Amino acid sequence: MTLPPRVRIVEVGPRDGLQNEAAFLSVDAKVAFIEMLARAGLISIEAGSFVSPKAAPQMASTGEVLEKLRGRADLRVSVLVANPRGLEAAFKAGARELAVFAAASETFSRHNINCSIAESLARFKVMVEEAARRGIWARGYVSCALGCPYEGAVAPAQVAAVARELRAIGCAEVSLGDTIGVGTPLEARRLAEMVAREIGLERVAVHFHDTYGQALANIFACLEAGVTVVDSSVAGLGGCPYAPGASGNVATEDVIYMLNGLGVETGVELGALLQAGAYISRLLNRGPASAVARAFAAKRRSP
């Protein structure tokens, strides 16, 4: 068994996590949350998104959050953008990294961003090129990489084709999103390997939801394939408003615990991460979806 010596965690809780939570947090609470994540050693953090407030009302304060984080040159803070208007708002707020999101399913693309896959890629090409002119790094997402809530199975070749197009328009990294969490380890690994042949293994990231309890196994399978970038969300926050039944993202605490056990470096300190997860869970008035967080909490309560 060969595993990478180090993995970069992309913490998506402040965006992909909070956007699907009912509670609204203040700007200061969001900034405090991000700073706690940073103290735990997470340096790649998705801080929010510039999308329609009707689609993701929890993200309406993203500009103010970025403004308060301007001085954190030590962090790779990124934001999701959906259209040119959002892109301009991201520029105005001082974004240094951004992400665009395409889908491998036509039906999901139309439900999520009201256009076809081809139309979305054409739109994103203009946006990513403009970002590059300003020296801003861009990442691309492929939603429904292992299944679609509307169409069911998604052909791996279709995922690879969308990933190839995202790379061609200038995305430095492409994250394969199992939006509804239906993937299993062997198909996850095969997909990562197929996409790697198209865009290069160093540009492949994985983004698993844990709907069927397969996320950690899927991550492990992709690590064996050489993937070194993993998206996760502290406390297992999140879901997808356009994917009925999708549960939260794989919990960052659970990923770090597994990677620590495998001897894979991440630079993340589990104790501080657990504190960040407990903080955000209290604000949201919910328990963490992280098995590791629950186990540590039970251990503290036991006599």
Count CA within 13 A, CB hemisphere, residue 293.
Answer: 25
240 is catalytic: yes
184 Cβ contact partners less than 8 Å away, ≥ 6 residues apart: 214, 217, 218
Q: How far apart are CA 167 and CA 27, in angstroms?
A: 33
DSSP secondary structure letter of residue 227: -
Q: How far apart are CA 300 and CA 102, in angstroms?
A: 43
Distance from chain centroid for Cα 181 = 13
DSSP secondary structure letter of residue 6: B
**Which residue is catalytic, options 144, 148, 171, 240?**
240
Phi, psi (degrees; rounded to nearest 5) at 172? -75, -20
Q: Pick from 169, 215, 224, 216: which is nearest to 196 by CA?
A: 224
**Residues facing 204 on adjacent strands:** 174
Active site (catalytic) residues: 240
